[in-house]
Structure 1
């Protein structure tokens, strides 16, 4: 919602200010389709050249993500802590044998099925199951496990950010592409140098529209969207760090209640449940 409002403000202030200053839109309206064809077409083409299909799809999905925000809401963090609480408590009280069916086939686990949104996130599910599986294989050094989880999160983070980096590179290219369009307009103007000044003035104005559009698109639209995409990905990445905090705390020998409380402290403030809210969520968690 704020992104749409922001776009309206950008367009309103730029073009409104131009109109209030006495500017006329006839040259811009006449030149814009052709300039956009050159600038936008070159931008899309260079974007296709420089990125893999996965990155391109991620970038298209990223624009929707920039509008909708992080997929993880306050309830999802409570659900995650509840899920980790049940898993770590089961492992501590009933042993490795009791937890193995759940981590070997999470889709059939009544624990994971209670939290379908987390189960649907393959990275979160795999991170939990793989880490617990390592624990069942007697890898109980908290520092080694923490290092392993951090590497997985960093890898996932870098891969997820490839799309936002690609969109930012596109934004950085638009001013130069606008100059290309402007240069072509100047070439056209020089080819009509024998025409009267009024005609040449319109040609030069049309050429400058290319420079304007390149800079405007870069810093007024695409660049801000790339920054918002990166911000949302960082917010979503915090979700996986909670998994690390709770499981590492479990390896340090803390009770399940203490481990999830430590995890609660790392949740972003806007989504952080209170102690009472978490207690209520834990009480409603499935029993094994």
Structure 2
């Protein structure tokens, strides 16, 4: 919602104050379609050249996150902690082999079915099942498991960050592309040097619209999109880091409640449920 407000406020402030200050929108309106086509087309072309197909597809898919934010909400973090609590409690009480039925067929597991939004996230389910499976295979060295898990999380995060970097690269290029459009406009103007000053002024003004649009798009739209996606990816990474924190604490032979508290404390403040909320939620978790 805040992103929508920002996108509305941006042109209102820029163009509205320009008009109130006595500026005329006519030169901008006249030149903008041509300049936008030149600058925008060049920016898209550069985006396609500098990124692979996976990143481009990922970028188009994740644009909605600029408005919607992270796919995980506060309740999802609480549900994740409750799911992990039920699994590590079962493993602690009956041994690692007791969770095999849940991690081998999570879609049929009562533990996972209780939290459908977690079950719908393939990466979260994969992390939980793969690393709890390691425990059933007697891979119980917490340091080694932590290192493997951290390496996988870093890989996933880096892949996501490619999208934010791609948009930031476009933002960095836009001012220069605006200058290119302006220079071409000046070249066109120089070809009409014999025209009267009123005509030359209009042509120069149109050329400068290219510089304006390049800077405006870079710092007003594409740059903020890159920054927003960067923040969203950082927040989503914390969701998966929670899985690591709880499982590693469990491997260090911490009690299930302590393992969950370790994961809770690592959460961002805006989505971290209170200790009392988690205690109440864990008290309602069905015994597996």
- Per mean C-alpha deviation after superposition, the further-off stretch among 261-270 and 223-232 is 261-270
List per-residue Cα deviations over 1:189-219 (Å, max 9, x = no partner). Answer: 0111111111111100000000000000000
Which portions of structure 1, spanning 4 or more consecutive aligned residues, are displaced by more than 4 angstroms? none
List per-residue Cα deviations over 1:219-246 (Å, max 9, x = no partner). Answer: 0111011100110110111011111111
Q: Does 1:184 align with 2:163?
A: no
Q: Indicate conservation of the 8 Å contact 1:178/1:213, yes or no.
A: yes
Report the 3-state secondary structure (helix = DSSP H, G, I; strand = E; otherwise coil) of the residue aligned with 1:272.
coil
- Which residue of structure 2 aligns with residue 3 of structure 1? 3
- Which residue of structure 2 aligns with residue 27 of structure 1? 27
- Per mean C-alpha deviation after superposition, the further-off stretch among 46-55 and 254-263 is 46-55
Question: 1:181 Cα shift?
Answer: 0.8
| 1:73-112 correspondence to structure 2 within 5 Å | 73-112=73-112
- Which residue of structure 1 aligns with residue 239 of structure 2? 239
- Which residue of structure 2 aligns with residue 221 of structure 1? 221
- Which residue of structure 2 aligns with residue 202 of structure 1? 202
- Which residue of structure 2 aligns with residue 156 of structure 1? 156
- Which residue of structure 2 aligns with residue 63 of structure 1? 63
Unaligned runs of 5+ in 1: none
- Which residue of structure 2 aligns with residue 117 of structure 1? 117
| Cα distance in 1 for residues equivalent to 2:286 and 2:34 | 61
| Cα distance in 2 for residues equivalent to 1:62 and 1:194 | 51
Q: Does 1:175 align with 2:159?
A: no
| 1:117-136 correspondence to structure 2 within 5 Å | 117-136=117-136
- Which residue of structure 2 aligns with residue 271 of structure 1? 271
Question: 1:8 Cα shift?
Answer: 2.1
List per-residue Cα deviations over 1:117-160 (Å, max 9, x = no partner). Answer: 11111111111111111111111111111111111110010011
- Scaled by the length of structure 2, what TM-score is found? 0.97
Question: 1:262 Cα shift?
Answer: 1.5
Q: Does 1:166 align with 2:191?
A: no
Number of residue pairs aligned between Structure 1 and Structure 2: 288
Question: 1:62 Cα shift?
Answer: 2.3
Unaligned runs of 5+ in 2: none
| Cα distance in 1 for residues equivalent to 2:111 and 2:16 | 57
Report the 3-state secondary structure (helix = DSSP H, G, I; strand = E; otherwise coil) of the residue aligned with 1:270.
coil
Q: Indicate conservation of the 8 Å contact 1:114/1:286, yes or no.
A: no
Question: 1:53 Cα shift?
Answer: 2.1
Q: Indicate conservation of the 8 Å contact 1:62/1:164, yes or no.
A: no
- Which residue of structure 1 aligns with residue 51 of structure 2? 51
List per-residue Cα deviations over 1:53-106 (Å, max 9, x = no partner). Answer: 221122122221011111111111111111111111111111132111111121
Question: 1:21 Cα shift?
Answer: 2.2
